[in-house]
């Protein structure tokens, strides 16, 4: 019987769930270490190669399903895995272990996969560590076929906690309409594909819960606490009762917020605030409409470029953008041009420029260095602008020269489309404030941009010299740090002086403690993850803007993030205490 275990991780979609565990591919981590006799070697090699072909064929079917449901560009998310089935190192590695070491097929596959993953897992780059997820998925697909293709996903009506090493796009597509209660994965980071897919499902989810795939056993009980960022396996009776109470309380709390989604999003003293959604996948747009969001404030287009060998074509992108715009039923959307590099590395074939793993050739700088890639996207975006209200913004702008260069490229693309006789729109063009240099020179950037959007995740990271995905640095990455508040205030002042809109689309826009400060600093357009929209809307309704402004003035004079946090608690504890409690803000 399993013993009680607590696995700390990263909460990526809020909520609390408790239920029996359903392990995806649970028996594939450590298959039996069996040997085969001389007479069985040829048959064993053939059995493994047949399993590889069967797994590849099923992955092709999953790709076709994603293509049919969400468009060709999403089906291509599986291309990288499909390519691995023809990889000589995989096939020869398995074959040599069977022939030379007489390993049984399952053991040979597991050993080869672990060997291929090892150098990637030990790399400093998050990109290489996340590539190990692709190798692991391929190994598990083959092992599943060797085991007879046993059911790995729960039945549609099963109310269970899904535990997996990784969550693939195919898994996410199949779980969309299920009765799954929560998700816990072994791998992932706050920005990994696993986290993005978990958020898209809208279920309580914790990723990077290291060791959980090895410890979890089917039918045992688990608590997914996506408020505290932990998963408890085989909790004691008191923990179960507490989790059930908290899960029900959070459910009732969420239902109460959703019941008010049609209420005006206006502060107590009558100031309207526009609430937008952050989106990574086009099928999330239906939830944006359902939640009564004002529109999409950030559509992260880089997801279209990841896990594929060739960049998306102009027509492929146009189809995704057009479909997304039309599904919003007239609500505005802001597309961010691809923000690749660092922890979002594409897997393009040779000959296509790649961004840098560390800072430098990333974001807009990478786009400007990969002109063909950039121009293809700009063409698709301008053509999509004929289908509804939309804007375009550039990521990681360091200064005026960056922005001018991007605008020059855009003007050239317009002329190109005009010459070809293709219809295109003239969407507003914005600049993201994500780097301290951009905030410090925002008054100059405002002369060239139609709007600003502040990405607080990167702004905090670069201002405070922390990696937000590093668990050690979590306590240092506070958006309440006065240095960060100074940069936000500068950006708001620059936008106001120039008369252009400014919004905020980073995690600070959905932080229940930081929100009064955000409003007090002058932001009236907020963009947040879909799952957090009800909380953001309700926070706005419970505060007065004048009180928020008074808080902001006091915070700007504070000496530290802890002092600012204390000011917020004192000023809004009565009005927002319930919301803070549900989100574990002061736990």
Write out the chain's pLDDT in tens, 587 residues: 458 889 999 888 889 999 999 888 655 556 767 788 888 899 999 999 988 888 888 778 777 766 666 566 665 666 767 677 777 788 888 999 999 999 988 889 989 988 888 887 776 666 666 677 778 878 878 887 887 554 467 888 899 999 987 776 667 767 877 899 999 988 776 656 667 777 777 889 998 888 887 777 777 899 999 988 999 999 999 999 999 999 899 889 988 988 898 999 999 999 999 999 999 877 788 889 988 999 999 999 988 887 677 889 999 999 999 999 999 999 999 999 999 876 666 767 667 777 765 667 788 999 999 999 999 999 999 999 999 999 999 999 999 999 999 999 999 999 999 999 999 999 999 999 999 999 999 999 999 999 999 999 889 989 998 876 565 566 678 899 999 999 999 999 999 999 999 999 988 999 999 999 999 999 999 999 898 999 999 999 999 999 999 999 999 999 999 999 999 999 999 999 999 988 888 76
**DSSP line for 277-311:** EEESSGGGHHHHHHTT-S-EEEEEGGGGTTT-SSP
Give residue 471's pLDDT: 55
> How many CB atoms are located within 10 Å of the residue 177 CB?
8
Paired tokens of 532: 């957090």
d(CA 372, CA 559): 47
N residues, the chain: 587
d(CA 60, CA 71): 15
pTM of the entire structure? 0.78
Phi-psi region of 584 (alpha: psi -120 to 50; beta: other; left: phi over 0): left
Look at residues 562, 523, 528, 566 and name the one whose alpha carbon lies nearest to residue 545: 523
Paired tokens of 10: 């990263």
Give residue 73's pLDDT: 62
- Looking up tokens 């050993």 gives 111
Give residue 372's pLDDT: 94
- Long-range CB contacts (within 8 A, 24+) of 444-450: 444/399, 444/400, 445/397, 445/399, 445/400, 445/403, 445/494, 446/494, 446/495, 446/497, 446/498, 446/500, 447/498, 448/400, 448/403, 448/404, 448/407, 449/403, 449/500, 450/391, 450/500
> How many CB atoms are located within 10 Å of the residue 84 CB?
21
* Cα→Cα distances 136→62, 141, 379, Å: 17, 9, 37
The C-alpha torsion from 404 through 390 and 494 to 559, rounded to 10°, is: -110
Look at residues 70, 126, 45, 59 and name the one whose alpha carbon lies nearest to residue 345: 126
* Cα→Cα distances 223→176, 237, 438, Å: 21, 12, 43
* Domains of the chain: residue spans and CATH: 5-25+152-254 (3.50.30.10), 261-582 (3.20.20.60)
Look at residues 516, 529, 399, 565 and name the one whose alpha carbon lies nearest to residue 457: 529
Paired tokens of 206: 């914790």
Report CA 224 to chain centroid distance, whole Å. Answer: 19
- 3-state DSSP assignment of residue 338: coil
DSSP 8-state symbol, 341: B
Q: What is the CA radius of gyration of the chain?
A: 25
Paired tokens of 469: 């995905």
Paired tokens of 579: 């919301």
Look at residues 448, 356, 357, 433 and name the one whose alpha carbon lies nearest to residue 397: 433
Look at residues 51, 55, 57, 61 and name the one whose alpha carbon lies nearest to residue 98: 51
- Could you say which of 13, 431, 505, 548 is catalytic? 505
Give residue 128's pLDDT: 66
- 3-state DSSP assignment of residue 217: coil
Give residue 419's pLDDT: 97
Q: Provide the edge-to-edge strand list for the sheet that holds 205-207.
A: 5-8, 230-233, 221-225, 16-23, 161-164, 182-185, 205-207, 10-13
For helices 126-146 and 41-70, what crossing angle results, to 10°?
120
> How many CB atoms are located within 10 Å of the residue 406 CB?
23
- 3-state DSSP assignment of residue 47: helix
Beta bridge partners of 503: 453
d(CA 374, CA 366): 9
Look at residues 405, 401, 399, 427 and name the one whose alpha carbon lies nearest to residue 414: 427
Instruction: Note if 505 is an active site residue.
Output: yes
Task: Quickly count helices (H) and strands (E) in the chain.
Answer: 23, 16
* Cα→Cα distances 74→66, 117, 257, 378, 442, Å: 6, 25, 32, 20, 36
Instruction: Note if 210 is an active site residue.
Output: no
CA angle (495, 501, 503) in 5-degree steps = 100
- Could you say which of 7, 70, 193, 583 is catalytic? 193
């Amino acid at each position: 019987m399993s013993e009680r275990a607590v696995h700390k991780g990263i909460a990526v979609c809020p909520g609390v769930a408790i239920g029996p565990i359903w392990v995806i591919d649970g028996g594939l981590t450590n298959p039996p270490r069996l040997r085969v006799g001389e007479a069985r070697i040829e048959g064993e090699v053939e059995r493994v190669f047949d399993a590889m072909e069967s797994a590849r064929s099923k992955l092709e079917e999953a790709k076709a399903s994603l293509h049919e449901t969400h468009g060709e560009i999403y089906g291509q998310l599986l291309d990288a895995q499909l390519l691995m089935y023809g990889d000589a190192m995989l096939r020869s590695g398995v074959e040599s272990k069977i022939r030379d070491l007489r390993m049984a097929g399952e053991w040979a596959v597991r050993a080869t996969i672990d060997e291929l993953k090892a150098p990637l897992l030990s790399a400093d780059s998050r990109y290489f560590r996340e590539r190990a997820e692709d190798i692991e998925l391929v190994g598990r697909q083959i092992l599943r076929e060797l085991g007879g293709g046993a059911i790995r996903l729960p039945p549609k009506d099963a109310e269970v906690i899904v535990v997996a090493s990784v969550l693939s796009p195919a898994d996410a597509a199949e779980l969309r309409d299920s009765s799954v209660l929560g998700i816990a994965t072994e791998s992932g980071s706050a920005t990994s594909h696993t986290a993005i897919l978990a958020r898209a499902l809208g279920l309580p989810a914790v990723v990077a819960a290291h060791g959980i795939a090895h410890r979890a056993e089917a039918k045992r009980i688990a608590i997914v606490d996506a408020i505290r960022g932990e998963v408890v396996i085989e909790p004691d009776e008191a923990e179960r009762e507490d989790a059930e109470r908290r899960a029900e309380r959070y459910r009732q709390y969420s239902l109460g917020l959703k019941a008010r989604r049609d209420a005006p999003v206006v502060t107590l003293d009558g100031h309207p605030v526009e609430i937008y959604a952050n989106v990574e996948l086009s099928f999330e747009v239906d939830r944006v409409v359902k939640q009564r969001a004002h529109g999409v404030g950030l559509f992260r287009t880089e997801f279209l470029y990841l896990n594929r060998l060739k960049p998306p074509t102009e027509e492929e992108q146009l189809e995704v953008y057009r479909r997304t715009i039309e599904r919003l039923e007239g609500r505005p959307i802001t597309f961010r041009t691809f923000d690749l590099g660092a922890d979002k590395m594409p897997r393009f074939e040779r000959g296509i420029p790649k961004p840098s793993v560390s800072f430098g050739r990333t974001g807009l700088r990478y786009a400007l260095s990969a002109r063909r890639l950039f121009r293809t996207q700009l063409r698709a975006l301008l053509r999509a602008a004929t289908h509804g209200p939309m804007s375009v913004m550039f990521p990681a702008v360091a200064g005026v020269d960056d922005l001018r260069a991007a605008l020059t490229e855009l003007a050239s693309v317009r002329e190109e489309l005009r010459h070809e006789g293709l219809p295109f729109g003239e969407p507003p063009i914005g600049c993201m404030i994500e780097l301290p240099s951009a905030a410090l020179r925002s008054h100059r950037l405002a002369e060239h941009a139609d709007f600003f959007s502040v990405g607080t995740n990167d702004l905090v990271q670069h201002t405070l010299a922390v990696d937000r995905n590093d668990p050690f640095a979590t306590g240092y990455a506070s958006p309440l740090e006065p240095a960060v508040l100074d940069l936000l205030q500068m950006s708001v002042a620059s936008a106001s002086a120039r008369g252009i809109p400014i919004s905020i689309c980073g995690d600070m826009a959905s932080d229940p403690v930081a929100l009064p400060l955000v409003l007090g600093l002058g932001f009236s357009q907020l963009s947040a993850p879909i799952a957090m929209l009800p909380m953001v809307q309700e926070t706005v309704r419970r505060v007065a803007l004048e009180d928020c402004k008074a808080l902001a003035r006091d915070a700007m004079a504070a000496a530290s993030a802890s002092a600012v946090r204390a000011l917020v608690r004192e000023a809004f504890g009565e009005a927002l205490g319930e919301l803070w409690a549900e989100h574990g803000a002061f736990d």
